[in-house]
Amino acid sequence: ASFLLLCFRSPLATPLIFGLLLQAPLTQLSTITQPNFVLLLADDLGIGDVGCYGNDTIRTPNIDRLAKEGVKLTQHIAAAPLCTPSRAAFLTGRYPLRSGMDAVNDYRVIFWNAGSGGLPPNETTFAKILQQQGYSTGLIGKWHQGVNCDSRNDHCHHPLKHGFDYFYGMPFTLISDCQPAETPEMDRAFRRKLWLSTQMVGLITLTAVLGRVTGLISVQWKALTCLTGFSLLFFVSWFSSYGFVRYWNCIMMRNHGITEQPMVTDRTTSLILRESISFIERNKHKPFLLFLSFLHSHTPLLTTEKFLGRSRHGLYGDNVEEMDWMVGQVLDVVDKEGLKDTTLVYFASDHGGWLERQEGERQLGGWNGIYKGGKAMGGWEGGIRVPGIFRWPGVLPAGTVIDEPTSLMDIYPTVVHLAGGAVPQDRVIDGRDLLPLLRGTVAHSEHEFLFHYCGVHLHAVRWHQKDTGAVWKAHYVTPIFSPPGAGACYERGFCPCFGEGVTHHDPPLLFELSQDPSEAKPLSADTEPLFDTVIRKIGRAIEEHRRTLTPVPEQLSVSNVVWKPWLQPCCGMFPFCWCDKEGDN
């Protein structure tokens, strides 16, 4: 005791004690108020395309650095396997069918800037709550949540109506039609049918006219005039939309104004990066939210000359490596401005890679590693399991890997809580606050069940049995691969959610993902003693989940999805829509 007393009286004691106290591994959250948020969301990136998730041939050093300096999630799940519904869930923290942003038909995403469907104005995004908390909020890049409702300039679905102070990017999504030299991508099969029908109608009209002129067919000129008028009307009615896809959909906007129509793809990447850096620099003295929604790595894979031919995986690999470079540029600005320790950075993809996207021998879609399936498949892991990385030095433990079920919907309550806001109490929020899990103060995710939809059709359910660590997954509907055994729907281009292209399973296919993450060996009552117990448990969870659903307007109904000329954003006098304000500058 006398020795201890002597030590405390020593002149070295005070700095020694303070030094020990300062070596606490993590900062107390009570000392941090309103951190900045940089949310990085890739487009169509497969979980197998990133180095820290096992890829050793595509170079992603900056994304890998995020994982090394932060927390990597290995069961990070998208709420939908396609862009529009997945992003709606990300923004609202809710399954997309709760907001009407999932489809009952084959039109599972927003197809036109001039459609009337989109993220409903009564939905509350995390950006809107942060805006109310005093944050500067910016969205740079892809939106794909709709633009207008009733008129060309009502902007009811626009980012600025959903909590963002600043928007620069594409209100739609990148498609191959945006590149004049590329094969058209949008509604390709339907367009082929329309063109074939036009040729048939034209051939019938021409035959009737020739028959009337030569006297071989007795047809009145009045009937021929009507038939010719119908042929022209039929052609104009579809060509006015599909013939000008590049002008109608491939546009860039700054806030409500159009800056490029059509977009000049050669400079899109540099402009998006410039705008992202500028937003951080403009708002560095106050709390900000930057949502950088990449156009990478969606086709047509816009890649600058600097990165062409650099990877071992052709154009797709080049595009991913360029996106990783962009991530590095954004991180460098955060570091340079002294914001690293006060900024939560998040990186993810909106869903799995597109296996079927090919042009001849070229693979233009991503790779989903060991996981079965891909983009558009609502049940199989390859369509919904995505990278998920968080970095916040001093708050989140570096180099941590968490193998617990989490969701893109969890960003909503996590960000809102850290910003000092409160999630809405007048609706169901399906996301869960991830901070306790990320900091290691709890061992398990709050998610006991996750429901995997394909459109509005429930395809699979995941049950995390926390007492044993088992992750059970029951598939009630699976797509029929074409050709058989191919692992994707190559003959269709997309796997369907319903109809003749799916198989219904009764009893459902059951997998234990912690033992079989590739979903290669379905269990049965003969091979798994808990089979019936697990199926009953999941069945009860489905019943409870469905009781929380309420009818809402279908934002992706055919009437909302179709092109409406009076809603078309236009830089000029419709239909003469053209401008290049970036070039003018």
Q: Residue 490: its pLDDT value, please?
A: 95
Fill in the amino acid letter for 369: G
**Strand 470-479, strand 457-465: pairing:** antiparallel
Q: Using 50, 70 and 90 to split pLDDT, how confident is the model at 8?
A: very low
What is the number of other CB atoms lying within 10 angstroms of the CB of residue 187?
17
Per-residue pLDDT tens over the stretch 422-441:
999 999 999 999 999 999 99
Q: Residue 271 pLDDT more than 70?
A: yes
Residue of 52, 76, 83, 452 marked catalytic: 83
Residue 291: φ, ψ to 5°: -105, 100
Residue of 7, 52, 76, 144 marked catalytic: 144
Tell me the average pLDDT of the chain: 91
351 flagged as catalytic:
no
Fill in the amino acid letter for 42: A
Give SS3 for 297. coil
β-pair partners for 442: none
Q: Residue 238: its pLDDT value, please?
A: 64
Beta strands in 204-315 (DSSP E): 252-254, 257-261, 288-293
Express the helix, strand and coil content of the chain in percent, nearest 5 each: 35, 20, 45
SS (H, E, C) 413-466: HHHHHHCCCCCCCCCCCCCCCCHHHHHCCCCCCCCCEEEEEECCEEEEEEEEEC
Q: Which of 219-228, 531-540, 562-571 comes out lowest in average pLDDT?
A: 219-228
Of 3.90.79.10, 3.90.650.10, 3.40.720.10, 2.60.120.330, the CATH number of 36-174+250-580 is 3.40.720.10
Q: Residue 61 pLDDT more than 70?
A: yes
Per-residue pLDDT tens over the stretch 338-393:
999 999 999 999 999 999 999 888 899 999 999 999 999 999 999 999 999 999 99
43: CB partners within 8 A, 6+ apart: 83, 142, 173, 174, 293, 294, 295, 296, 297, 298, 349, 350
Mean pLDDT value across residues 21-25: 45
In the DSSP assignment, the letter for residue 397 is P
Fill in the amino acid letter for 138: G
Q: Residue 22 pLDDT more than 70?
A: no
Per-residue pLDDT tens over the stretch 204-234:
778 877 877 777 777 777 877 887 888 777 7
204: CB partners within 8 A, 6+ apart: 227
Q: Residue 9: its pLDDT value, please?
A: 39
Quick check: 342 and 35 in contact, CB under 8 A? yes
Q: Residue 541 pLDDT more than 60?
A: yes
Side-chain-side CA neighbours of 61 within 13 Å: the count stands at: 3
Domain boundaries of the chain, sorted by first residue: 36-174+250-580, 188-242
576: CB partners within 8 A, 6+ apart: none
Rounded-to-integer distance, Cα 453 and Cα 517, Å: 19
Per-residue pLDDT tens over the stretch 28-52:
665 667 999 999 999 999 999 999 9
Dmax over CA atoms of the chain, in Å, equals 126
Token digits of residue 403: 């193998």
Q: Which of 299, 303, 297 is nearest to 349 (CA)?
A: 297
Is pLDDT larger for residue 5 or for residue 102? 102
Q: Residue 195 pLDDT more than 50?
A: yes
Q: Residue 539: its pLDDT value, please?
A: 98
Q: Residue 241 pLDDT more than 70?
A: no
% of the chain with per-residue pLDDT over 90: 81
β-pair partners for 474: 461, 510
β-pair partners for 471: 464
579 flagged as catalytic:
no
In the DSSP assignment, the letter for residue 54 is T
259 CB-contact burial (10 Å; exposed 0-12 / middle 13-18 / buried 19+): buried
Q: Which of 452, 443, 568, 501 is nearest to 147 (CA)?
A: 568
Q: Using 50, 70 and 90 to split pLDDT, how confident is the model at 17?
A: very low
Q: How close are the terminal C-alpha atoms of the chain, in Å?
A: 77
Q: Which of 511, 499, 563 is nearest to 538 (CA)?
A: 511
Query: Considering the entire predicted model, what is its pTM?
Result: 0.90
Rounded-to-integer distance, Cα 447 and Cα 429, Å: 12
Quick check: 37 and 133 in contact, CB under 8 A? no
Rounded-to-integer distance, Cα 493 and Cα 276, Å: 33
Look at the alpha carbons of 319, 323, 324, 325 in this order and tell me if their dihedral is positive or negative: positive
